[in-house]
Amino acid sequence: MPHIATEMKKRSLILVTVDCLRADHVGFLGYPRPVTPNLDALAANSIVFSNAIVAGAPTYFSFPAILASRYPLALGRDVLGIAPNEPTLASALHEAGYATAAFLAGNPYLGRRFGYDQGFDSFQDFLTGGTLGEPASSDLAPQSGLSKLNRLIEAGSRRNPLSANAYDELYFWYCQWMSARQDIPMDKLRRYPAANVIVDQAQSWLSGLGDQPFFLWLHLMDPHHPYYPPAEALAALGLPRITARRARFLNSFWNRGDIGPQRLQRHRKEILSLYDAGVYWVDKQISRLVEALQPLQRWDETVLAVTADHGEAFLEHGDRYHSPTSLPEYLIRVPLLLRAPELSGRRLLEEPFSLIHLAPTLLEAVGVAAPDSFQGRSSWAQISAGTLPGGPVITECVDGCCNPIRPEDRLRPRLMAMREREFKLVINFREGRDYLYDLKNDPAETSPLPPGDHMRERGRLFQAARMHLQRTSDKHKTDLRLRALLRDLQQSGKMTAATQASRSVDEGRRASVRLM
């Protein structure tokens, strides 16, 4: 009898990453405000991770693990992004015959410049050269002659702290008064495309696909500051009183650098409402995407993963946004939901799961082999059976590196967290100190355990840190590192093509001592 090769139909994959989405702000992980009704419904037949932990934070330290299953500092702390030709989730699927597309809502650290387009047939990052964050006060500053006068007054006020404070206060309210005179709608205030724009693009790409298996990556920025959710999302959450004008005031207030957490607390609740409305909008648009797959008959063969690159701070320890100056739970613990067509019922996995394992796990879920360079391992077989191994997971970043474009920012000391279900050790190399937290009894990490306490746990987590440092400074990565450095040198545009290669080799040699 002749052998008839029957190839199993390949499954498609959608990865949705949501910038700044905290694990404790989604309904399927217990948030009481109804911000994620659609994801909650999906979670009823999915694998849900209550302790998914990013491998680095923020964006630029998180994504190398999500896309390339590689720890962010494994190529040296001066390398940013994905190295040229570094294997990724996208490149593995592309080589396996998948149509691949990425639609990213304009995060400057996820652009072509940092290699994130590799492996995608279609890559749209919506970058218009803008920066993240709140407009500087100067956007609202007095004009022309008044501006000169203002500078003189400011210089005078800086001579003593009391008059400096008074100046800051007056200046803030002056800017508010100026901005209140302009009526700018929420959609104009937003710094990046809202999730509906990204989903529209994805839908139109999907509709032209035919029946080829596909990989689609969406990065949504709605919960990222400045917080300007669509008015429809605010209305749906019963918050119609937060108008565009009010949101503009709240964002300016929240961004003040001249006042402390105590005064910022005054508007924390409203800021959280704006953030939650962003999450609501993301949820609604993911549901639109799922609905679009149904008539195309693709939903029944699609694996969907929804997660985040890091969380967000709302004054828990006095801080805002997501600077890597510490690695608290609200920054490193993110939602993770995995939906596969054959799953029924909700499976809740409570052991820590590192996003370093996400890419190989997703590849196994669709039946494609993971590249050898991946540092994570697939957990698909285990998680489909409802279990996870319990070992510590590791998050690393460069302490206080808020502007990774500046090389000197990236060369600061390392910050690491080793996270088990109950204990978490944070090592701050700059301070030369470590902090052990008992997450079971102190989930908000209000006070580290006294030094000398819990030596067994401390020893175990230190050992995990040591092994991690040894493993991730693996010499096999040197080639990727040199390629990434060469790209950075080329992009710096300061050298002629003839000098680039020799400089990069020198740079590489010198830099290999900085791998730790």
The residues binding Zn ion (CB under 5 A) are 19, 58-59, 309
Strands 12-18 and 302-308, sheet pairing: parallel
Q: Is the peptide bond before 58 cis (omega within 30 degrees of 0)?
A: yes
Distance CA 321, CA 315 (A): 9
* Residue nearer to Zn ion on the CB measure, 127 or 153: 127
CB 281, min distance to Zn ion, A: 17
Transcribe 399-427 into DSSP letters. Answer: TT---TTSHHHHTSPEEEEEE-SSEEEEE
Question: Which residue, 19 or 364, is less far from Zn ion as judged by CB?
Answer: 19
CB closer to Zn ion, 58 vs 324: 58
User: Do 223 and 21 meet the contact criterion of CB atoms below 8 Å apart?
Assistant: yes
CB of 21 to Zn ion, least distance (A): 9
Identify which of 86, 85, 89, 57 has the alpha carbon closest to the alpha carbon of residue 73: 57
* Nearest residue (CB) to Zn ion, 51 versus 307: 307
Smallest distance, Å, CB 292 to Zn ion? 26
Task: Quote the distance between the C-alpha of residue 213 and its chain's center.
Answer: 27
User: How near is the Cβ of 194 to Zn ion at its closest, in Å?
Assistant: 16
Query: Long-range contacts of range 379-383, CB-CB < 8 Å, 24 or more positions apart?
Result: 379/353, 383/47, 383/338, 383/347, 383/349, 383/353
* Residue located via tokens 């800017």: 175
State the nearest-atom distance from the C-beta of 56 to Zn ion, in Å. Answer: 11
Q: Kindly tell me the burial class for residue 493, based on how many C-beta atoms sit within 10 Å of its own C-beta (0-12, 13-18, 19 or more).
A: exposed
Tell me the closest approach of the beta carbon of residue 238 to Zn ion, in angstroms. Answer: 28
> Residue with structure tokens 């210089």?
155
Nearest to 55 by CA among 325, 456, 331: 331
Least distance CB 250 / Zn ion (angstroms) = 21
CA 197 from chain centre, in angstroms, equals 19
- Least spacing, CB of residue 166 vs Zn ion, in Å: 36
Helix H or strand E segment including 395: strand 393-398
Strand intervals (E) in 274-382: 302-308, 313-314, 320-321, 333-339, 347-349, 353-354
**Which residue, 167 or 254, has its beta carbon nearer to Zn ion?**
254
Of 76 and 106, nearer to Zn ion (C-beta) is: 106
Beta 347-349 vs 353-354: how paired, if at all?
unpaired
Give the residue with the Cβ less far from Zn ion, 19 or 434.
19
Kindly write down the DSSP assignment for every residue of 6-49, as one continuous string.
Answer: -PPPPPEEEEEEETT--GGGSGGGT-SS-S-HHHHHHHTTSEEE
Closest approach of Zn ion to the CB of residue 330, in Å: 14
| Sequence-ordered list of residues with C-beta below 8 angstroms from that of 78, at least 6 positions apart, any chain | 407, 410, 411, 485, 511, 514
Q: In this complex, which beta carbon is closest to Zn ion, that of residue 108 or of residue 352?
A: 108
Which residue's beta carbon is nearest to the bound Zn ion? 59
Q: Measured from the CB atom, is 26 or 47 closer to Zn ion? A: 26
Query: Which of 224/483 has CB closer to Zn ion?
Result: 224
CB 19 to Zn ion: min, Å: 4
